[in-house]
Amino acid sequence: MCTSMVKSKFLSNPEDLGIVAVGFSGGQCKPGVDAAPKALIESGLLTQLRDELGYKLHGDDEVHLYSDLAPADDPPHRNMKNPRAVSAVTERIAEQVHHHASRGRMVLTLGGDHSIAIGTLAGSAKAIRERLGREIAVIWVDAHADINTPETSDSGNIHGMPVAFASGLAREENPDLPFGWLRDDHLVSTAKLVYIALRDVDPPEKRILRDHGIRAFSMHDIDRHGIGRVMEMALAHIGNDTPIHLSFDVDALDPLWAPSTGTPVRGGLTLREGDYICESVHATGSLVAVDLVEVNPTLADDRDVGAHETVRAGCSIVRCALGESLL
């Protein structure tokens, strides 16, 4: 593998990479996803980013568990499970991401379940508005749309709601309530949101996507057009002058490539298609932040083969987003 780092349009220090390692699983009900950052780091990911891709790493020494933020009592609110814990953790993550992004760094967040994107998107959006006076675009690569509101969710798991909170569709106006910390400068626009690899979308989510005209590419679209054409259409929708936050759920990949994840869905992306998405976004020069979420190394077979392959796939996704190329 070789490095093909593209000059960034929106980063003042593109060789600097802010790392936020999030050991948090409270947005869903399966333990183990909090172990993902440690597994990714122990596999050599950060060493590869530093030694092979040439990044100067910041904030990479600690996996944050946020145990100090756990409330003594966390009853359901608006049908949400663990609302105060997830709110407190995502607010802290927003501050961490903002710390790096406001200094003109690329930000890599290693999760953790996908609820953490409430914080990562908020931190990116606020920093880019302050630094450049621009909105960010979001490319959400996932088997699931994660745009349920608390009221439309069957499970109450907040990892199925982050886009609704990040876009203001599930907003809390009272600052004393969970997620009341989200303000206008934290929010992203549904007009600059693109989904890729959807294949398990709840009926209420389908209505939300239609009602708000959100651009979404399902696996049907990828089968029909090919991943190259889908990426051309996705990036054309965003435009070539908008900072991009890439949020990649490893369950976007078919379980053949990433079996150790909490909500696997057959019929997903190949690893090469996942890598190509990341390579294409990197090539725009507009990428400002990357999330990798939902690797669960505890969901493994007797020989840990599935966990090992999922961690390897996650590392490949990150490296391609940050400039690794085949030639």
pLDDT tens for residues 112-133? 999 999 999 999 999 999 999 9
Predicted local distance difference test score (pLDDT) of residue 301: 64
Under 8 Å between Cβ of 218 and 93 = no
Q: Check whether 69 has a pLDDT greater than 70.
A: yes
Read off the pLDDT of each residue in 178-190 and give the average, rounded to a whole number: 97
Domains and CATH numbers, the chain: 16-325 (3.40.800.10)
3-state secondary structure the chain: CEECCCCCCCCCCCCEEEEEEECCCCCCCCCCHHHHHHHHHHCCHHHHHHHCCCCEEECCCCEECCHHHCCCCCCCECCECCHHHHHHHHHHHHHHHHHHHCCCCEEEEECCCHHHHHHHHHHHHHHHHHHHCCCCEEEEECCCCCCCCCCCCCCCCHHHCHHHHHCCCCCCCCCCCCCCCCCHHHCCCHHHEEEEEECCCCHHHHHHHHHCCCEEEEHHHHHHHCHHHHHHHHHHHHCCCCCEEEEEEHHHECCCCCCCCCCCCCCCECHHHHHHHHHHHHHCCCEEEEEEECCCCCCCCCCCHHHHHHHHHHHHHHHHHCCEECC
Catalytic residue ranges = 114, 142, 144, 146, 159, 249, 251, 294
> Which has more pLDDT, 140 or 303?
140
pTM tops 0.85, yes or no: yes
Per-residue pLDDT tens digits for 18-39:
999 999 999 999 999 999 999 9
Q: Is the pLDDT of residue 231 over 50?
A: yes
Average pLDDT over residues 161-180: 96
> ω before 26 within 30° of 0 (cis)?
no
Per-residue pLDDT tens over the stretch 36-58: 999 999 999 999 999 999 999 99
Residues 150-170, mean pLDDT to the nearest whole number? 98
Residue pLDDT, tens place only, 71-92: 999 999 999 999 999 999 999 9
Predicted pLDDT at 303: 57
Is residue 79 within 8 Å of residue 151, measured between CB atoms?
A: yes
So what's the pLDDT on residue 1? 45
Beta strands 324-325 and 2-3 are antiparallel
What is the spatial distance between Cα 268 and Cα 200, in angstroms, rounded to a whole number?
Answer: 10
Give me the pLDDT at residue 327, please. Answer: 87
In sequence order, what are the residues at sequence separation of 6 or more whose Cβ sits closer than 8 angstroms to the Cβ of residue 294?
33, 36, 111, 113, 114, 159, 249, 250, 251, 261, 262, 263
Per residue in 247-271, pLDDT (tens digit) is 999 999 999 999 999 999 999 999 9
